[in-house]
Amino acid sequence: MRVGLEAFLLLSAVLFSIGVYGAVSKRSAVQVIMSLELISIAVMVNMVAFARFVTPDRGTGWAFTLFAMVVSAAEVGVGLALVLAIYRRRHTAELPELDELKG
């Protein structure tokens, strides 16, 4: 059995949807950030697959994957630090309780 680009796209679509579900539904800030990581993994799977199947001779897709990793690593670092800071001030990391934007 041989699989092509479509299989990778389908897999990444499923992962992306699961990540979106987690990001939208989870109450814990940490879990939301983990879901965001899932989304970025889905994106990277997509990029590596495209790089291999569509532009195999240039490595551009790899480079972008690398940068995407950098960005998501930075995002995780800052995001978790923010969660920590919020937790220290408010003694909670539950998103529904952090409703200071309420108008």
Partner 1 sequence: MDWILAIPALPTLSFALLLVMSRQVRMRMLWLPVASIFGSLILSIVAFAQVWPGGSEEAIWHAGWEFAELAGKPVDLSVALDPVAAVMLLVVTIVGAAVQVYSLGYMHREEREGWYFAVLSLFTAAMLMLVLSDSLLLTFMMWEMMGLCSYLLIGFWFENEGPRKASQKAFLTTRVGDLGFLIALFAIWGVVGSFSYEEVLHTVGDWPAAVAAVAGFGLLWAAMGKSAQVPLQVWLPDAMAGPTPASALIHAATMVAAGVYVVARMLPVLMVTPWIMQTTLVVGLTTALLGGLLAAVQHDVKKVLAYSTISQLGLMFVALGAANAEVALFHLTTHAFFKSLLFLGAGVIIHAAHTQDMRFMGGLRRHMPITTVTFTIGSLALAAVFPLSGFFSKDEIVATLLHEHHYVSAGVVLLASLVTAFYVARMLFRVFTGPEQTKHLSEGHMSMLAPMSVLAFITLVLGFASPTFANFLGGHGVWPDPFVAAISMTSAGAGLALGWWFYGRRSAVVNTAIWKRRLGYAYDALAQKLYFDAVYDHVFIRPFMLGATLLAVFDMRRLDGFVNLVAATWVRICTISWRVDVTAIDGVVNGVASAAKGTGSWMRGLQNGVIQRYQRLVLGAVIVLVLVVFMVKGV
Partner 2 sequence: MPNTVDGIAFAILAISMVGGALGMVSSRNIVHAALWLLEVSVAAAGLYYLLDADFIALVQLLVYAGAVVVLTVFTVMITLRRREDAVRPVDFSWPALLLALALGGILLAAAANFPKKTISMPDAMPSIVRFGELLFTARGYALAFEIASVLLTVALLAAVWWSREVED
Residues at the contact surface with partner 1, assessed by CB under 8 A: 20, 23-25, 32, 95-96, 98-103
> Cβ closer to partner 2: 58 or 97?
58
CA distances from 15 to 8, 46, 94 (A): 11, 11, 24
Of the pair 1, 24, the CB lying nearest partner 1 is at: 24
Q: Which two tokens stand for residue 14?
A: 């499923």
* Binding flag, residue 65, partner 2 (CB under 8 A): yes
Q: Using an 8 Å Cβ cutoff, are 65 and 49 in contact?
A: no
By CB under 8 A, residue 2 contacts partner 2: yes
